[in-house]
Amino acid sequence: MASPYKSLVKKVKVEVKDKAEVKTQVCSFPATQRQSAAVPDIDIGRALMTLREGSAKDRAQTARLLGDLAFMKKVKIPEAIFPLSVLIKIDDDPVVREEAAWALWKIGDKKASEALLHALANDDWTDVREKAARALGLLGANEAVPLMVALLSLGRSVPAKLRAALAASLGLLVDPQAARVLLHAALDAEPSIRYEAVKSLGRYLFNFSQDIMEKSFSQIIRSLSPHRERIPEIRQSAIKALRICRDPRALEAIAKAAMNDPDAETRKLACETLLCFDGPASESALIDALEDSNWFVRKTAGRVLAESVKRSRIYNTPRVCEALQRMERMFPSGSREWRLAAEAFASL
């Protein structure tokens, strides 16, 4: 059956009208905007009037304030859905449309999905469509999946920033039809798209067909290899995707990363993640990481090892005892790591 959004996809304008598209950097788009020290209380009625009659600057600021008020102070503002939806569709200023899209997510009403879908399919500005894509994912609007899959399938004819947003949202709107395009996106030449796709594939390791789960797992493991993936942030994304995977191969891959990855931050994250696992491979990797060349990796490995000893089964008692005694000499007296090592040793 043809996608109900096929005609919309044909109308999508992929040129970036506001500025030349710049190769995007790997970054994780924040789930929320930076919270201000305090969100001022505002007159809702006057704010809605400003959305209709204010200047472009005032409309954008008011949309942002309404979203912050709803999200940070948990204020219900259902009456703002309609005027914000109108702004997304007809406002001449792209900044206003961006703020309106983000405010609709913060208000958290799925009635906003229709306006966000319209923006994703038809808006002329990439930044507006990116905000709409991420807002739809955060809202849990599963009706957006066919359009998102169709757009991500278009490849380089869609701006990289938008493709990264689509890959991120398809990890929130988990759907079997999205698995194929995410597997393809995980091999994209653009790092930001690989980052989001690999992270999203972690949601496809459970409750799907064996074929989807195995292909998703295999791609994540490939993205964890420094020989195949040179960007440390993407390897870190793969580690995060495996955090709740109970496949023994996941533990083996993360333990290997904790010992051998060339990037210290990636080794540190791998050590932190080993706290989610229990087994001789995890224990051995943490003990080996106490010899790491980076001080912060050693601190992390020591903390996780001590916490694992108190919580889990011990697999190599002599080696663990030696490691805990070494930690008491390695870390400053009274430090968190020193205290954890002493408590863990006393618990044996």
Question: How confident is the model at residue 42, as a pLDDT?
Answer: 77
Question: How far is 152 from 150, CA to CA, in rounded Å?
Answer: 6
For residues 348 and 334, what is the distance between their CA atoms, to the nearest angstrom?
20
CATH of 43-140, one of 1.10.10.10, 3.10.20.30, 3.40.50.300, 1.25.10.10: 1.25.10.10
Question: What is the per-residue pLDDT across 120-169, written as a single tens digit (0 to 9) for each?
Answer: 999 999 999 999 999 999 999 999 999 999 999 999 999 999 999 999 99
CB 336 within 8 A of CB 299: no
Rounded Cα distance between 156 and 133, Å, is 17
45: left (phi over 0), alpha (psi -120 to 50) or beta: alpha
Among 203, 166, 142, which residue's Cα sits nearest to residue 29?
A: 166
| Structure tokens given for 74 | 């948990």
The encoded tokens of residue 276 equal: 């989610």
In the CATH hierarchy, which top-level class contains the domain 250-348? mainly alpha
Kindly list the domain boundaries of the chain, sorted by start residue: 43-140, 143-245, 250-348
CA-to-CA dists, residue 26 to 121, 166, 206, 306, angstroms: 25, 15, 26, 33
Asked if residues 23 and 56 have their Cβ atoms less than 8 Å apart, the reply is no
pLDDT digits (tens, 9 = 90+) for 174-201: 899 999 999 999 999 999 999 999 999 9
If one counts every other C-beta atom within 10 angstroms of the C-beta of residue 285, the result is 27
CA distance linking residue 223 with residue 229, whole number of Å = 6
- Given a cut of 70, the residues of the chain with pLDDT beneath it are 1-39
Query: Is it true that 43-140 and 250-348 share their CATH fold?
Result: yes
